[in-house]
A and B are shown apart, each in its own frame.
Chain A
């Protein structure tokens, strides 16, 4: 299913309206819906959160764009509300955390394979192995504090085992910066991939910063603090990938294009009719917003937006288990470290990062503490109990 970006104009801004009941409508089912339905909701909430975040930053730096930004931003805010309110109330913060990590793993793993630029693909593989480890640590926390099984959320699509250990993911800021793509030569897919992943990671960071202190358990509080710090590193890493020389309007247009791309990817693979109707509606909204920004680019920058936006989109994001790719990457790259913007073998890691890590881990590591002797067991590790047989 291809989408004609030049001729599909979507819904004009003035018809993109909401009511409160729509914003807080029915939800998907935590138990009955496919895990990738949750993944799509989580990802699209992240993409909309990024739209709002970018729009505010842009408004603060561009007086002439403030009104058009405010008009689109109000809609994006309500889109984010509607999408995020699709999450059901029986999904606890810890269960949602498991969903966030699954989203980070599966979507980043797909992006890493689709990415045409070898350096950018390496960045995605590197970050993915760290989120993969977070899933293992949070699964142990869920099992050992609540007696619940993270696989109820993961639905066996994603392995639960150590990745690059969280305790060694702590790096100095100097080793977290990456080289950007070149705005003039990079493919559209590279630009969209960078936006999708930074959106997802920024959302995870903000979520952990909000819910972390709501846990009572001292190890849970420390673990969220530790992993939120890595998510901050990841946002730093991924936001470097976009060319800083893109104009503000160019960045805005790419954001809108990415929203079209991600909703379109969701629409093609959704089995839940409620979610499908949301993706369909918001794809039309985003097309309207993208054409609105294309017109602004023509008026303000006197540039042809078609130079940036091609006739059709790259292949959609595939929402499916990337287990084999993750395993292969784990086997080959778990020992990679960084030195400046480069990925290096273990023995070439930067001194700065080693010093930084030694300091933050001085009085122990919560991620190591919670997983002491932990191995995922279906139904929780409490299943390892033998009782007399039934007669």
Chain B
């Protein structure tokens, strides 16, 4: 019985599994209609998407500031001539990302406990450190939003959209059947997006003269870059070890 996803097993999804039946299916499809052509490459789908997008409103909007006082002290003075809601939306987005990121690393710790970790792979302490970094980033963003008079508990449109995008990540990380390496692949996507998110947020804070916030965001960005380098290294070590092309025997078997 195979025990790893990279073992040979009974995967039945490809057409080569059924050489006779697959030919019947192909012939029936050809007999039933016109073959593929540029005109059938989803043009009608695109037309409908364009029409609906023109008519559709946004998923939602940015809420008014939590306190008028907070708004008066900070945003009105420092964001004169700008659109503060863009900054608030992105802060809310980053905050949602970091909350989910913390939960993703918690799920990853469970994966670690049952994994056969190769040399060059993560240690529990390293994973816990990243989880704690993500959690601390939640606090930084919460305080930043409060600082400028915004409500950190509101789901901004940006937060909503990253939440939708992240649903698949949560599914992979919490599925008991997925491996540590498969989950690290997903974490890599999240870390790539996270790093770019902090970079943009830092630039925005700089441009809006929020030097105090920018300094904190810059520190978070440095940590995110460290996370990215570590995750890349862990994936490479795991793949080389699993493929048997590098001398990276399991250092911790289960």
Contact B99 A217 (CB under 8 A): no
CB atoms of A379 and B164 under 8 A apart: no
A148 touches B163 (CB 8 A): yes
- A152 to B57 alpha-carbon distance, docked (Å): 20
B contact residues around A147 at 8 Å (CB): 96, 99-103
Q: Which residues from chain B sit less than 8 Å from chain A, CB to CB?
A: 55-61, 96, 99-103, 107, 135-136, 138-140, 142-144, 147, 152-157, 160-161, 163-164, 166-167, 170-172, 174-176, 212-213, 216
What residues on B are CB-neighbors of A26 within 8 Å? 55-57
Given contacts A92-B164, A145-B103, 4 further A-B contacts (CB under 8 A): A144-B103, A145-B107, A383-B138, A390-B147
Q: What are 24 A-B contacts with C-beta separation under 8 Å?
A: A26-B56, A31-B60, A31-B61, A32-B60, A32-B61, A90-B59, A90-B164, A92-B163, A145-B170, A148-B163, A149-B153, A152-B153, A152-B154, A215-B171, A215-B174, A216-B174, A216-B175, A217-B175, A218-B174, A218-B176, A382-B99, A383-B139, A383-B152, A387-B143
B56, chain A: closest CB distance, angstroms:
7
**Chain A residues, Cβ within 8 Å of B164:** 89-90, 92
- Cβ of A151: which chain B residues have Cβ within 8 Å of it? 153
Q: Whose C-beta in chain B lies nearest to the C-beta of A377?
A: B153
B contacts with A: majority SS:
helix
Please, which residues of chain A bring their CB within 8 A of the CB of B156? 31
How many Å lie between the Cα of A378 and that of B99 in the bound state?
13
A390 lies within 8 A of B143 (CB): yes
CB pair B57–A31 under 8 Å, yes or no, is no
In the bound complex, do residue B160 and residue A90 qualify as a contact, i.e. CB atoms below 8 Å apart? yes
Would you call B57 and A379 a contact (CB within 8 A)? no
Closest Cβ of chain A to B74, distance in Å, is: 11
For the complex, what is the distance from the CA of A43 to the CA of B219, rounded to whole Å?
48
Q: Which 5 A-B pairs have the closest CB atoms?
A: A31-B60, A147-B99, A387-B139, A217-B174, A216-B175
CB of B60 within 8 A of CB of A29, answer yes
For chain A residues 41-93, which have a beta carbon within 8 Å of chain B? Answer: 88-90, 92
Would B136 and A387 count as touching, CB distance under 8 A? yes
Taken together as a complex, chains A and B put the C-alpha atoms of A88 and B100 apart, in Å, by 21
Residues of A within 8 A of B96 (CB): 147-148
Contacting pair B171 A216 (CB below 8 A): yes
B212 near A391: Cβ-Cβ < 8 Å: yes
A30 in the interface (beta carbon within 8 A) = yes
A380 within 8 A of B: yes
Query: How long is the Cα–Cα vector from A26 to B55 in the complex, in angstroms?
Result: 9
| CB of A254 closer than 8 Å to a CB of B | no
Does chain B have a CB within 8 A of A307? no
Q: How far, in whole Å, are A50 and B136 apart by their CA atoms in the complex?
A: 48
A31 engages B157 (CB within 8 Å):
yes
Q: Across the interface, which residues of A come within 8 angstroms of B136, CB to CB? A: 385, 387
The answer to whether B99 and A380 touch across the interface, beta carbons within 8 angstroms, is yes
Q: Which of B55, B59, B176 contacts A31 (CB 8 A)?
A: B59
Closest beta carbon of chain A to B186's beta carbon, Å:
12
Which residues of chain A have C-beta atoms less than 8 A from B58's C-beta?
29
Residues of B with C-beta under 8 A to A220: 174
Bound complex: CA A150 to CA B136 (Å): 21
A146 on the B face (CB < 8 A): yes
With a CB–CB cut-off of 8 A, which chain A residues contact B154?
152
Shortest beta-carbon distance, B168 to chain A, in Å?
A: 10
Cβ contact within 8 Å between B144 and A385:
no
- Report yes or no: A379 in contact with B153, Cβ–Cβ below 8 A: yes
Q: Does A386 contact B (CB under 8 A)?
A: yes
- Whether the Cβ atoms of A146 and B139 lie closer than 8 Å is no
Assuming the contacts A145-B170, A390-B147, A390-B213, asked whether A90 and B100 have C-beta atoms less than 8 A apart, the reply is no
Q: How far is the CA of A220 from the CA of B174 in the complex (A)?
A: 10
